[in-house]
């Protein structure tokens, strides 16, 4: 009897099957009251495989039936260990692993890395292993655009005699490669945010019929859903796939939701505006422009699921505005989005004569943002407990400092603001109110590209706090106040890229939150 770790993979291969369909038959797994069914997928001539991820410990009996070939057996599922925390799930406006472990996405982007040479793919894996990234956006299909002029060695399908893609004949060389890369990512603790369709295409994958598209997706589910680190991204820039309608996209989302028994994350990425809210959508995967910065709050409100800004431009120096962010701007966007309650994704596009740019092909990272993203990641992971987005004490940021004057000179204005139409007041507050991420015993505020020379903290009078100023670029934490209580003013360095971390000291006077060296 095979022993499988919870969230691990059980596989069973059946040969001599009289079929050549991409998916066939079914396997039923039973563990007490729990019943799970998956399809087999083609792995060779007359050869099919069952792939199953048990999510409950104990004995699972299985029955496999593929074109009349019947198999039975039992597997034992034992507790997960080490870095295996299960799959990532949405949890309110955040994510977590199945076993409850914290997961905060720090993604990167290598659209077509699996379509490059073996050597380059291995280099990418090495670079990822040395990076902070725990999610990667990657396409099934190859990519065509500037710096993407090479053809891959193999494609997901073989061709018909007329040259059209035959989605009923998966190219198994390709799928074995994809298996291998997803598994490697899993070993590195990296979620594979797999982009199923995209428009940057010169081979015809963007033009598949709806029937062919669904056949392809069924194969994806049968073959890939058992990987605990798989996410389904229906599209990159879905609006640019003009062959597909909203009904088509909804059909994919509904089909994945139904056929993927594990309920992996499903999203769809836009070019113009986020895809409307749908039941099958587990989180938002948004491309946004610099002018959309303040919309993160609105999207959180509107969608009530995690908001991932999966594309906000790339660190680089290309002659395209989406590909020439400074490293500081990239890091700033991570902080900005995180401190509006969203999550952000990295990419890198430095011009190279060999056209090997990380954003498309992987390889090596040349930029300066990754270490700073690692700093932010370590900081966020070090903060205890559940976090949420909060307004600053409900105090208006424009409120006058009344320390030096008896008169609150802004009070009449604020009174008038209180009488303003709600929509106007909301718009105003969305722009001016500072927000913070807070846990039970800490809060983190980021000052954006602004550079205040001081901050007024409004702390509980009967508790003690410590304040640290964080330099997001130089990756330093410096104490700026200890034993703070009540309303207190602290000095800030008056430079861009500053954040402040306020931590409550334990009531015994001892600091229960040790300063973490990150």
Q: Which parts of 204-233 interact with a second copy (CB under 8 A)?
A: 206
CA distance 293 to 308: 13
Phi, psi of 378 (to 5 degrees): -60, -40
Residue 285 or 349: which CB sits closer to a second copy?
349
Number of other CB atoms surrounding residue 311 within 10 Å: 24
CA distance 285 to 196: 14
Task: Please tell me whether residue 451 binds a second copy under the rule CB under 8 A.
Answer: yes
Of 90, 120, 271, 390, the residue at the interface with a second copy (CB under 8 A) is 271
Residue 45 or 246: which CB sits closer to a second copy?
246
Q: Which parts of 395-414 interact with a second copy (CB under 8 A)?
A: 397-398, 400-401, 404-405, 407, 409-413
Smallest separation (angstroms) from a second copy to the CB of 428: 7
Stretch that binds a second copy, among 18-26, 28-36, 109-117, 453-461 (CB under 8 A): 453-461
The token pair at 202 is: 């010169």
- Closest of 435, 413, 437, 436 to residue 425, by C-alpha: 413
The token pair at 24 is: 């066939």
CA distance 368 to 513: 30
Residue 318 or 380: which CB sits closer to a second copy?
318
Smallest separation (angstroms) from a second copy to the CB of 447: 8
Binding mask 182-201 for a second copy (x = CB under 8 A): -----------------xxx
Mention every residue, 6+ apart, whose C-beta is less than 8 A from residue 318.
324, 349, 350, 351
Task: Please tell me whether residue 509 binds a second copy under the rule CB under 8 A.
Answer: no
Mention every residue, 6+ apart, whose C-beta is less than 8 A from residue 16.
46, 47, 69
Smallest separation (angstroms) from a second copy to the CB of 68: 44
CA distance 378 to 201: 37
Smallest separation (angstroms) from a second copy to the CB of 401: 6
Stretch that binds a second copy, among 13-21, 25-33, 225-233, 441-449 (CB under 8 A): 441-449
Of 388, 449, 458, 507, the residue at the interface with a second copy (CB under 8 A) is 449
The continuous run of DSSP H or E covering 391 comes out as strand 388-391
How far is C-alpha 191 from the chain's CA centre? Answer: 8
Q: By CB under 8 A, how many residues form the interface with a second copy?
A: 69
138, β-bridge pairs: 194
CA distance 127 to 411: 55
Residue 254 or 292: which CB sits closer to a second copy?
292
Mention every residue, 6+ apart, whose C-beta is less than 8 A from residue 335.
376, 446, 472, 497, 499
Q: Which residue has the tokens 């919309």?
A: 295
Of 72, 247, 419, 483, the residue at the interface with a second copy (CB under 8 A) is 419
Binding mask 85-124 for a second copy (x = CB under 8 A): ----------------------------------------
Residue 121 or 148: which CB sits closer to a second copy?
148
Residues 450 and 496: beta-carbon distance below 8 Å: yes
- Closest of 280, 255, 259 to residue 38, by C-alpha: 259
CA distance 43 to 172: 6
Number of other CB atoms surrounding residue 454 within 10 Å: 11
Q: Which parts of 134-173 interact with a second copy (CB under 8 A)?
A: 144-146, 148-149
Q: Which parts of 56-75 interact with a second copy (CB under 8 A)?
A: none
Task: Please tell me whether residue 366 binds a second copy under the rule CB under 8 A.
Answer: no
Task: Please tell me whether residue 289 binds a second copy under the rule CB under 8 A.
Answer: yes
Task: Please tell me whether residue 46 binds a second copy under the rule CB under 8 A.
Answer: no
CA distance 51 to 225: 8
Smallest separation (angstroms) from a second copy to the CB of 310: 17
Q: Which parts of 291-330 interact with a second copy (CB under 8 A)?
A: 291-295, 317-322, 324-326, 329
468, β-bridge pairs: 479, 501
Q: Which parts of 471-500 interact with a second copy (CB under 8 A)?
A: 494, 496
Phi, psi of 205 (to 5 degrees): -70, -25
Residue ranges that bind a second copy, judged by CB under 8 A:
144-146, 148-149, 199-202, 206, 239-240, 242, 271-273, 289-295, 317-322, 324-326, 329, 350-351, 397-398, 400-401, 404-405, 407, 409-413, 416-417, 419-420, 424, 427-428, 431-432, 434, 447-456, 494, 496
């Amino acid at each position: 009897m095979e022993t499988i770790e919870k969230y691990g993979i059980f596989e069973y291969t059946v040969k001599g099957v009289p079929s050549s369909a991409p998916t066939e038959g079914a396997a039923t797994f039973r563990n007490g009251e729990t019943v799970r069914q998956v399809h087999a997928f083609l792995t060779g001539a007359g050869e099919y495989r069952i792939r199953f991820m048990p999510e409950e410990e104990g004995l699972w009996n299985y029955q496999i039936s593929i074109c009349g070939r019947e198999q039975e057996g039992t597997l034992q599922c034992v507790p997960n260990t080490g870095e295996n925390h299960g799959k990532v799930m949405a949890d309110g406006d955040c994510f977590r692993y199945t076993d409850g472990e914290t997961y905060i996405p720090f993604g990167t982007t290598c659209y077509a890395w699996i379509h490059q040479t073996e050597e380059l793919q291995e280099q990418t894996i090495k670079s990822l292993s040395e990076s902070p990234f725990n999610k990667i956006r990657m396409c099934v299909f190859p990519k065509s655009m500037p710096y993407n002029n090479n053809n891959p060695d193999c494609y997901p399908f073989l061709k018909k005699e007329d040259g059209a893609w035959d989605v009923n004949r998966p190219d198994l060389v390709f799928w074995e490669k994809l298996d291998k890369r997803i598994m490697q990512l899993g070993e590195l603790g990296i979620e594979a945010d797999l982009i199923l369709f995209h428009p940057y295409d010169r081979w015809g994958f963007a033009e598949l019929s709806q029937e062919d598209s669904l056949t392809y997706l069924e194969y994806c589910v049968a073959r890939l859903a058992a990987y605990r680190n798989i996410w389904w991204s229906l599209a990159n820039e879905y609006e640019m796939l003009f062959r597909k309608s909203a009904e088509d996209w909804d059909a994919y989302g509904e089909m994945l939701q139904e056929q993927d028994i594990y309920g992996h994350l499903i999203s769809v990425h836009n070019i113009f505006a986020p895809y409307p809210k749908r039941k099958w959508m587990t989180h938002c995967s948004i491309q946004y422009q610099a002018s959309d910065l303040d919309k993160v709050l609105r999207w959180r409100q509107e969608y009530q699921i995690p908001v991932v800004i999966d594309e906000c431009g790339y660190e680089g120096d290309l002659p395209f505005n989406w590909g020439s962010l400074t490293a500081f701007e990239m890091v700033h966007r991570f902080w900005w989005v995180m401190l509006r309650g969203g999550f952000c994704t990295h990419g890198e596009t430095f011009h190279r004569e060999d056209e090997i740019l990380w954003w498309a092909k992987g390889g090596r990272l040349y930029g300066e943002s990754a270490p700073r993203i690692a700093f932010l990641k370590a900081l966020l992971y070090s903060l205890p407990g559940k976090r949420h987005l909060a307004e600053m004490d409900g105090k208006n940021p424009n409120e006058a400092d009344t320390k030096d004057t008896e008169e609150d000179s802004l009070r009449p204005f604020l009174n008038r603001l209180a009488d303003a139409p709600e929509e106007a007041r909301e718009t105003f507050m969305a722009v001016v109110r500072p927000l913070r991420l807070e846990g039970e015993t800490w809060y983190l505020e980021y000052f954006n590209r602004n550079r205040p020379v001081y901050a007024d903290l409004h702390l509980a009078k009967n508790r003690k706090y410590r304040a640290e100023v964080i330099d997001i670029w130089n990756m330093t934490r410096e104490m700026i106040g200890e034993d703070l209580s009540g309303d207190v003013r602290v000095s800030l360095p008056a430079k861009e890229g500053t954040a402040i971390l306020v931590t409550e000291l334990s009531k015994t006077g001892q600091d229960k939150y040790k300063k973490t060296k990150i």
